[in-house]
Structure 1
C-alpha cells in the first residue's frame, strides 16, 4: 500500500471515529430504538457539512478524492473538532491549515511562572507573529516596560525599525536589525498570503525606509546563537548570551533568555 493510500485510509478512519463519538441528541436528531449506528450516520454528517452523502462516503472509504480547504472547514465544524484535531485533519488531507489555526498565541500561567522563575535573567516569549506575548520583570528593566506598550510596540520588527529610541540601545544595530529581518523573512515564506503578515510588511515599508530597502534583498537566516550587546541608560553597555528555544507543547512559541556574559553580581539587573 502506497503512502497516499495509507494517508487516505487514515483520513477515512479518523473521520469515522469522530463521527461515531458524537451523540445525535447534540444535534437535535431523534434516535429510534432500532437505530443501529452509534453516533452520527454518514448522511447526517454530510448534511451538516453541506456535502453529498456519496462524496462523504467515498472520503471515509479512502477513495482518491481531494477535499478543498472549504470542505475541511465544514467537516471540522460538523464533527466539532478541536484545534489539534483540525490540524490533524488538514495534515491528512495534505492542506496547509489556515493561519489562525496554526498560530499558538496563548501563554499558559505555567509558562509565565517559568519566566518569573528565570529572574534575574531577562526572558521573553514571542509568538508566531513576532509579538512579545509574555515577559518577566528583568526583561522590562533591560529593554523597556512591555506592560506600557501597545500590541504594535511589542512586535519585534516594529520596535527594531520604527521605534525611534530602539537603535540607540543596540551598539551593533545594523547587524542585529539585518539578522532579525532575515529571520523574519524565513517565517514570512511559510505564511505568504496571510493577511496579518502582508499587512505588517506593508506597514513597515511605509514607516521605515531602511526596512523597505533591506526587504528587497531577500536575505534568509535561521535563529543564530551568539551574544547581544545592549546599551542600558543606567548600567551602560551590557553583553549577553542570547539563547532561544521552541516549546515542545507549543511549537509556535519561542522562549528567549538573556544570560549576562559577566558575573551576575556585576549586572544586578533586578536592582535597576
Structure 2
C-alpha cells in the first residue's frame, strides 16, 4: 500500500532542499568571508549561514534537516538576505515556509502592464494603485506630483499613512489636515482588522507610533470608518488649489488593491491638472 506524505512534511523537505541548494551556490568571498585552505563544503557552511542571519547553528541545521520547527517572518527575511536571494527566490522561500513576507517591496500581482498603461492613459487625472495598507504600488505622472514629489520618496516610504503623518510637503498640500488624517487612521484601523497578525502591518503601525505623536493621539481613539469616496481640496505647491473627487475602484476583494483617482470637479481644477502634468516627469 502506498502512502502519501502530508503536505506539511513535503513543504519542510522542499524548504530544506531549497535552503541547502542556495547555501551551496554562494562562495565565501560573495559574503565577505575568508575561504581558508581546508574548506571541503561547496559554498557556505551551515554555521556561516547561521552567523550571517544571526540565528543559532543548531536551529538552522534542524531547518535543513526538515525538522518540524516554527520559522518567523523576521528569520525568513534574515535568511533571504544571508543567502542573497532574488525576488522570485525570496517569494518561494516564504511560500514554502508558509510565512507572510514583511518586506513592503514585494511586487503586487495586481499591477499588470495593462493596468500601468491605464494609469498613463488617465493623465491628467491623478491615479494610483494602492493596497489596503495604503502602500502606493504604482502611479501616473500627475499623481506623482499631486501631494508631494513621489519620485524623491524612497520606495519603502511610499505609503499614504506614513506620508500623511510625517512628510512636510504632503502635509502642507492637504487642506483640513487634522480631519483628513483622523479619517485615514480610522479607515486604516478598519482595514487592519483582517491583518492583525501580519508583520508588514505591525511594522508600519510601530513606525507610525514611534515617529508621530499626532498619529498616536488619533490612533488611541479607536475610531473605525469604511472606505468610500469624497470630495476634497488639495493645495498643490506648483499649480494652486484643486477641487477633486476621490474615488476607489476595487481590483479584487474589498480587502485587496484598488485604483485610486482624483477627478476634477470644475474646469479651473482640470486646467490646473493639465499644467501639473506638463511639469511632472514620467515616474520611474
* Offset, 1:45: 6.4
Listed one character per residue, the Cα deviations across residues 147-198 of structure 1 (whole Å, up to 9, x for unaligned) are: 3211343111110001123221111111111111111001211111222211
Q: Which moved more, 1:210-219 or 1:122-131?
A: 122-131
Cα distance in 2 for partners of 1:151, 1:212 equals 24
Corresponding residue of 1:48: 10
TM-score using structure 2 length:
0.59
Quote how far apart the aligned CAs of 1:128 are: 3.5
CA distance in 1, matches of 2:242, 2:207: 32
TM-score by structure 1 length? Answer: 0.62
Of 172, 175, 184, 1:168 maps to 172
d(CA) in 2 for partners of 1:249, 1:44: 31
> Match for residue 61 of structure 2?
none
Query: Equivalent residue for 2:122?
Result: 118
- 1:229 corresponds to 2:233: yes
- Structure 2 unaligned spans of 5+: 14-69, 71-90, 280-284
Decide whether aligned partners of structure 1 residues 162 and 46 sit closer, same or farther in structure 2, where only a CA change above 3 A counts: closer
Deviates more, 1:203-212 or 1:187-196: 187-196
Alignment partners' CA distance in 2, 1:150 and 1:118: 24
* Cα displacement (A) at 1:146: 2.3
Describe the shift of the 1:182–1:43 C-alpha distance in structure 2 as closer, same or farther (beyond 3 A): closer
Tell me whether 1:148 sits opposite 2:152 in the alignment: yes
**Paired residue for 1:184, among 185, 188, 196?**
188
Three-state SS of the structure 2 residue aligned to 1:167 is helix
1:68-114, CA deviations, whole angstroms, 9 ceiling, x for partnerless residues? xx8xxxxxxxxxxxx9xxx9xxxxxxxxx85459x972322111111
Partner of 1:166: helix, strand, or coil? helix
Task: In structure 1, list runs of 5 or more residues that go unmatched.
Answer: 1-35, 52-69, 71-82, 88-96
2:258 paired residue among 217, 235, 254: 254
In the TM superposition, what are the counterparts of 1:1-150 in structure 2 within 5 Å?
42=4, 48=10, 99-100=100-101, 105-106=108-109, 107-150=111-154
Deviation, 1:251, is 6.3
Structure 1 residue 201 corresponds to structure 2 residue 205:
yes
Q: Which residue of 2 aligns with 1:271?
A: 278
Q: Is the 8 A contact 1:153 1:163 kept in 2?
A: no
SS of 1:42 mapped into structure 2: coil
Shift of 1:221: 0.7
Report what 1:215 is aligned to: 219
Question: What count of residue pairs does the alignment treat as equivalent?
Answer: 194
Q: Deviations over 1:45-88 (max 9, x none)?
A: 6863579xxxxxxxxxxxxxxxxxx8xxxxxxxxxxxx9xxx9x
CA 1:163–1:149: 2 relative to 1, 3 Å: same
Q: Which moved more, 1:259-268 or 1:187-196?
A: 259-268
* CA RMSD after TM alignment: 3.4
**Structure 2 contact 101–200 (Cα < 8 Å) conserved:** no
Displacement of 1:144 in angstroms is 2.7
Per the TM alignment, residue 266 of structure 1 is displaced from its structure 2 partner at its CA by: 5.3
